[in-house]
A and B are shown apart, each in its own frame.
Chain A
């Protein structure tokens, strides 16, 4: 069939875990935009949602770290964290091993990925699901991009992964929704947690909404680390979605720095009905 939805969102654990510490005046509009993204996604009647995440040492570690990995199971479980800490109940999340296998087979025509028949979701996927498909009624195909333990795949390889996922979606008979989730500038879980470079974020998001390939690939990790923190490496997940959207224009639905959530909270999507898509 085709790609029926493409969007991005934040996933920081504080979004649910430290909810009461945020200013409701900015928190509640963020939550509302996040839930509206979920409504828009579900309105496309997807057969599966592919979530491109940047997991945080829940499944992948430096003993054997894949640049890219895709889940291939009929069910997953999450969150791996203490449910009381994240304030998201631990549940079984539906997958679709057969559909994953067909998607992986297509992706591997151009991009090598690790496949995973076991995967425990961390906050990087559970927080988005909490807002987007709270009933967990849409099968998930998790995709991971290593954004935590360098060396990391270059940005142009993340772009290639996005193109491969798009080709896979176009080849499959199912309706595929795509969600990228990561932070932009942030220094999560460090002494600088809460620092957010809003100017850098807004410039990145402008490039993302233009779906400007050259501008989006014109970042280097050394500079990103210096001005946007190690969390900035997670822009890879946003780039995957840009590539998959194939030139479609994007709309920023919400952006605001929320320091207690340790990230500039973001909700955005691409207009796949655009002729450019």
Chain B
């Protein structure tokens, strides 16, 4: 799943193919139906929940015309809807939400950036 997005992010021709037919563009990857649908529908919240690294995901969001603040909110909504990140680097400690995370670290409420 991350590889599909990584290759899409760095290749203009793959981006053109994805825009023309997103389902066909992801057929070459070994994806579950859930993963493929999340990419085809640009479901940022689900992709984050499934474990896509933000450094890959933010470019896919921009590619889909999603503004920065909306991108951040879609990830928060994804965690609220689907639960903590399933795997990958963000699953190391589980994600409890911005407010709780800030409180646990004794920091200010997560400033939105």
Contact = CB atoms under 8 A, between A and B. Distances in A.
Interface of A: 14, 18, 56-59, 61-63, 80-82, 85, 120, 148-150, 188-197, 225-227, 230, 257-262
Contacts of B56: 56-57
A195 B111 contact: yes
Given A120-B10, A262-B113, A148 B55 contact: yes
A194 B93 contact: no
Q: Is the interface of A mostly helix, strand, loop or mixed?
A: loop
Interface in B4-59: 6, 9-10, 48, 53-59
B98 A192 contact: yes
Interface string B89-113: 1101101011001100101001111
Contacts of A197: 105, 107
Contacts of A14: 68, 113
Contacts of B113: 14, 193-195, 258-262
B76 A191 contact: yes
Query: Considering residues A56, A192, A197, which has the most beta carbons from chain B within 10 angstroms of its beta carbon?
Result: A192
Contacts of B98: 191-192, 195
B110 A58 contact: no
Size category of the B interface is 35 or more
23 contacts: A56-B55, A56-B56, A57-B56, A58-B10, A62-B3, A149-B89, A188-B54, A189-B54, A189-B58, A191-B48, A191-B72, A191-B75, A191-B79, A191-B95, A192-B101, A192-B110, A193-B112, A194-B72, A195-B102, A225-B92, A227-B105, A259-B113, A262-B113
Contact of B112 (A188, A190, A194, A257): A194
Ordered nearest first, which 7 A-B pairs have the shortest CB separation? A194-B113, A189-B54, A259-B111, A56-B55, A259-B113, A189-B58, A194-B111
A14, A189, A196, A226: residue with the most chain B Cβ atoms closer than 10 Å: A189
Contacts of B63: 82
A85 B63 CA distance: 9
Interface of B: 2-3, 6, 9-10, 48, 53-59, 62-63, 68, 72, 75-76, 79, 89-90, 92-93, 95, 97-98, 101-102, 105, 107, 110-113
Nearest to A18: B68
A259 B112 contact: yes
Given A192-B110, A195-B111, A82 B54 contact: no
Contacts of B62: 81-82, 85
Nearest to A196: B111
B29 to A, nearest CB: 12
A81 B55 CA distance: 11
Contacts of A61: 2-3, 6
A230 B89 contact: yes
B98 to A, nearest CB: 6
B54 A194 contact: no
B6 A57 contact: yes
A57 B89 contact: no
